[in-house]
Chain A
Amino acid sequence: SAVISQKPSRDICQRGTSLTIQCQVDSQVTMMFWYRQQPGQSLTLIATANQGSEATYESGFVIDKFPISRPNLTFSTLTVSNMSPEDSSIYLCSVVLGANEKLFFGSGTQLSVL
């Protein structure tokens, strides 16, 4: 398994501002994933963060809105830019580990935009 530390755990932000979420893993991993879970919804993949290359974004998500950094094999950040109330959600970082490629999640960031 992996210990994945994510912060902040929750934040309340004003419309138009930006928030950067940090994710630290206790082991080196090739890929880190950023998910969003809106109220009453399942998990939606935002992007895959690969060390040494640009993040790969899923349909409907763009780098200008969700810039991602991956400076090394244990750390990544996701920024939610120019926030609106529609960005209110839980944001989760995750990594794949093990032969079965199980997905392990950070504790999540509960974001509320006013």
Chain B
Amino acid sequence: GQNIDQPTEMTATEGAIVQINCTYQTSGFNGLFWYQQHAGEAPTFLSYNVLDGLEEKGRFSSFLSRSKGYSYLLLKELQMKDSASYLCAVTLPYSNAGNNRKLIWGLGTSLAVNP
């Protein structure tokens, strides 16, 4: 089976740093996405990791360890507008997914940033 685990909820303070973890057990692995979703809106792309290590993009960074089946999203200098749900998704290789590349989605982590 396919499984992705994320914490359900997290709370942090404006200006602080928060790390959102994601662990996965899937039948294959091609890469891992992080998406941000504000309430009532569609998800928007944040990052995509294929290789092990940390990728930094402004205030957001994403880390991947393929051997451990683990990723995290790091948000620095938190702002109120960062209050949202953060979704982790794993892409399966074509050999596992047939003709269509499939994504396995986590349930998302709801982050509340307080003043």
Binding site for B on A (CB under 8 A): 31, 41-45, 48, 56, 92, 96, 100-108, 110
Contacts and interface: CB of A to CB of B under 8 A. Distances in A.
B113 to A, nearest CB: 20
B33 interface: yes
B107 interface: yes
Given A45-B102, A48-B100, A105 B108 contact: no
Contacts, number: 44
Given A102-B45, A105-B44, 17 more contacts: A31-B100, A42-B105, A42-B106, A42-B108, A43-B87, A45-B102, A56-B99, A92-B42, A92-B43, A100-B31, A102-B33, A102-B48, A103-B35, A105-B42, A107-B41, A108-B42, A110-B40
A101 B91 contact: yes
Nearest to A44: B105
Contacts of B101: 96, 101
Contacts of B103: 43, 45, 103
B6 to A, nearest CB: 9
Given A42-B105, A42-B107, A43-B105, A104 B100 contact: no
A92 B44 CA distance: 12
Nearest to B49: A100
A56 B102 CA distance: 12
Interface string B24-46: 00000001010100001111110
A-B pairs, top 4 by smallest CB distance, nearest first, are A105-B42, A42-B105, A42-B107, A43-B105
Contact of B45 (A41, A43, A45, A103): A103
Contact of B100 (A42, A43, A56, A92): A56
A45 B35 CA distance: 16
Contacts of B41: 107-108
A103 B36 CA distance: 12
B48 A107 contact: no
Contacts of B42: 92, 105-108
A28 to B, nearest CB: 17
Contacts of A107: 41-42
Nearest to B8: A40
